[in-house]
Amino acid sequence: MLVIDSPPRPAGRRFPLLDQARAWSVILTEEFGVPFAFYAADDGAAPVWAADGAPAGGPAAGTVDRLLADGQARVLPLDDGRYQLALLLYEAGRPALVAAGEVAGVAPAPGPAAAREQARLQKWLQSVSDRLRLAGQFAAQRQGEEEQGQQAVLCWEALLTLDRLMHRLRIHKEPARNQRRILEAVFPLLNVQGLIWVPLPSDAPVLVEGEACLAAPDCRQLVALLAPHMGARPGEPFLCNDVADQPWGGRFPRLTNLLAFAVAEQAPLGWVVAVNKKGSLTQARSASEGKSSPRAGASGLCPFRKSDAALLTPFVALLGLHVRGSERYQELKDLLVGLTRSLTAALDAKDSYTYGHSERVARIGVELGRELGLAGEELGDIYLTGLLHDVGKIGVRDAILAKREPLTPEEFEHIKQHVTIGYTILSDLRPIRSLLPGVLYHHERVDGTGYPDGLQGDAIPLLARILAVADGYDAMSTTRPYREAMACRRVEEILVEGAGKQWDRQVVEAFLRCRLKIHAIRQRGVGESLRSALDGALRKDGSSVQWS
């Protein structure tokens, strides 16, 4: 992990040094009756805080080194008969502060009485030092146990969240919405001000969960500045706890710290950035219950840690998997476009009288589906099934398709096989199995007298019932080898007469409500190219589907 943090807070530090000095000052003043001054253990000349009346000047020369060497408290006689008390104060087992105070002596110095007095002060001071050290060790142990327990709970919640996500996400449906669902799921676990997904395509929307700390252009500028750092160690997160001190930090005054991941395969796909860590999940819950947390500081922010990166990693991986899967799915759809074009072109070449029929049935079916309240992928299924519903006619003899006279019973049985032929042609294509019921059953009748299986009523899939009306309307309103096209009014009369017998009554009613749109499709004919129509049908824009 690439980490930028200056200066880092020592591992295990629970409170700022200033707060610790004030707390220990109360204890030592009550114990010895004198004020104390406090100095950083790694630099005895650096004062951290001093109580009113505390001596100035710091510990005597060499005292800090001796304290760090053996940990023993020191009582040093001063020239005026006073004694300097110096002891180490620990946090999480590490020296944190040196406390120094002065007490008045009673025995005349020098002499045996003064030596005994110094020895008694030494034992007293060492006893207090040992008690404080043990108390600190106990507090550190207790804190460690609490944090381990909190981390275990957090890990368990993260696993449950991942499991729920895996059951909800669908690669083929609304990629942007699913990407947002991932951000929404991990956001409360991180407890940050903002979680940002910046996809690589510049025209793709930047998704922000939480507070919008940055505008979309600023988000893209930020990841552009971070990319060289993340590119130096691919796959590892970038952690920076002092944004203001970085060369680029002045451009983002609202950012205190951040944790960033590059989502990449062979090339970058985008970036996930968590900004302004507010505290642990437990602290967040305490805050929501009205309990203050001194660890967060006055700003309410705290540093990112490696555990935050570990928590976010599987969600970033899931996001990357979803982005890559969506791209593969789109590539698969592009292949389906090519296949559909080829099959439809082959069918049109075989029967010039039905040229454009499949495209019109597809568009009419979409209008019927929309009128029935369908949307999104359901309309996509209708469109593609409409394009492919007669593909089985490739296996029907040309002489029968072009015959002007009425068909014989044997010829009619032969042409009825086109639904099962089409089903067989498409059945091995796993991605379009949802279309097969429409291809196989679009000639079933609600009264049970249709083919191939004589299904009745609602036993016929809705997809097939919609396409049956679309197919019937276009067939009757188009010139065929054996008859001229019927007038639209007569076609509507036949549909109404057949409602509840040949066709689903609700679908026919939907047809009547949107018939002006359907007539426009029929009058426009093929119009634009099939590729443009398919591209419009299959292209997703966020949560909507654009239809040609």
Q: Which of 253-257, 281-285, 538-542 has the highest mean pLDDT?
A: 253-257
Q: Give the per-residue pLDDT at 99.
A: 93
Check pLDDT > 50 for residue 539: no
Q: Give the per-residue pLDDT at 193.
A: 93
Check pLDDT > 60 for residue 288: no
* pLDDT tens-digit map of 422-460: 999 888 877 778 899 999 999 999 999 999 999 999 999
- Amino acid at the residue 339: L
Prediction pTM value: 0.50
In the structure encoding, which two tokens stand for residue 229, read together?
């750092």
Q: How many CB atoms neighbour CB 233 within 10 A?
A: 12
Check pLDDT > 80 for residue 298: no
Q: How far apart are the first and last CA of the chain?
A: 48
In the structure encoding, which two tokens stand for residue 301, read together?
């922010």
Q: Give the per-residue pLDDT at 530.
A: 43
- Amino acid at the residue 295: R
Check pLDDT > 50 for residue 369: yes
Confidence tier at 482 by pLDDT (50, 70, 90): low
* pLDDT, average across residues 106-128: 89
Check pLDDT > 70 for residue 320: yes
* C-alpha to C-alpha distance for 175 and 333, rounded to whole angstroms: 14
Q: Give the per-residue pLDDT at 15.
A: 53
Q: Give the per-residue pLDDT at 451.
A: 94
Is-contact 392 422, C-beta < 8 A?
A: yes
* C-alpha to C-alpha distance for 113 and 118, rounded to whole angstroms: 9
Whole-angstrom CA distances from 387 to 366, 374, 531, 545 are 11, 18, 12, 17
In the structure encoding, which two tokens stand for residue 25, read together?
């000052």
Enumerate domains of the chain plus CATH numbers. 12-144 (3.30.450), 169-326 (3.30.450.40), 351-545 (1.10.3210.10)
* C-alpha to C-alpha distance for 264 and 195, rounded to whole angstroms: 18
Name the packing angle between helices 505-513 and 357-371 (round to 10°). Answer: 90
* C-alpha to C-alpha distance for 306 and 130, rounded to whole angstroms: 33
Helix (H) or strand (E) holding 362: helix 357-371
* C-alpha to C-alpha distance for 143 and 40, rounded to whole angstroms: 23
Is-contact 260 223, C-beta < 8 A?
A: yes
Is-contact 547 536, C-beta < 8 A?
A: yes
Kindly state the percentage of the chain with pLDDT values over 90.
37
Q: Give the per-residue pLDDT at 255.
A: 94
Q: How many CB atoms neighbour CB 193 within 10 A?
A: 19
Is-contact 91 115, C-beta < 8 A?
A: no
* pLDDT tens-digit map of 36-76: 999 988 776 678 889 998 888 788 878 888 888 888 999 99
DSSP-derived pairing of the beta strands 540-541 and 544-545: antiparallel
Residue with tokens 């086109």: 418
Check pLDDT > 60 for residue 16: yes
For residue 102, give every residue at least 6 positions away whose Cβ sits within 8 Å of its Cβ, in sequence order, or none.
Answer: 34, 55, 78, 82, 83, 84, 85
* C-alpha to C-alpha distance for 9 and 359, rounded to whole angstroms: 67
Q: How many CB atoms neighbour CB 530 within 10 A?
A: 21
* pLDDT, average across residues 514-537: 61
* pLDDT, average across residues 30-36: 93
Confidence tier at 494 by pLDDT (50, 70, 90): very high
Q: Which residue has the higher pLDDT, 502 or 139?
A: 502
Whole-number average pLDDT of the chain: 80
DSSP annotation of 492 reads H
Mean pLDDT lowest for which of 136-150, 225-239, 313-327?
136-150
Confidence tier at 330 by pLDDT (50, 70, 90): confident
Check pLDDT > 60 for residue 364: yes
Is-contact 88 44, C-beta < 8 A?
A: no
Kindly state the percentage of the chain with pLDDT values over 70.
79
Mean pLDDT lowest for which of 97-111, 246-260, 327-341, 375-389?
327-341
In degrees and rounded to multiples of 5, residue 340 shows phi and psi of -60, -40
Whole-angstrom CA distances from 282 to 129, 171, 183, 285 are 32, 33, 20, 5
Q: How many CB atoms neighbour CB 423 within 10 A?
A: 18
CA 311 to chain centre: 13
Mean pLDDT lowest for which of 33-37, 315-319, 343-347, 351-355?
351-355
* pLDDT tens-digit map of 397-424: 888 877 878 888 999 899 899 999 999 9
* C-alpha to C-alpha distance for 249 and 542, rounded to whole angstroms: 33
* C-alpha to C-alpha distance for 122 and 111, rounded to whole angstroms: 17
Is-contact 319 306, C-beta < 8 A?
A: no
Confidence tier at 470 by pLDDT (50, 70, 90): very high
Coil, helix or strand at residue 495: helix
Q: Which residue has the higher pLDDT, 485 or 231?
A: 485
Q: Give the per-residue pLDDT at 230.
A: 73
Mean pLDDT lowest for which of 31-45, 205-219, 222-236, 428-442?
222-236
For residue 445, give every residue at least 6 positions away whose Cβ sits within 8 Å of its Cβ, in sequence order, or none.
Answer: 468, 501, 502, 503
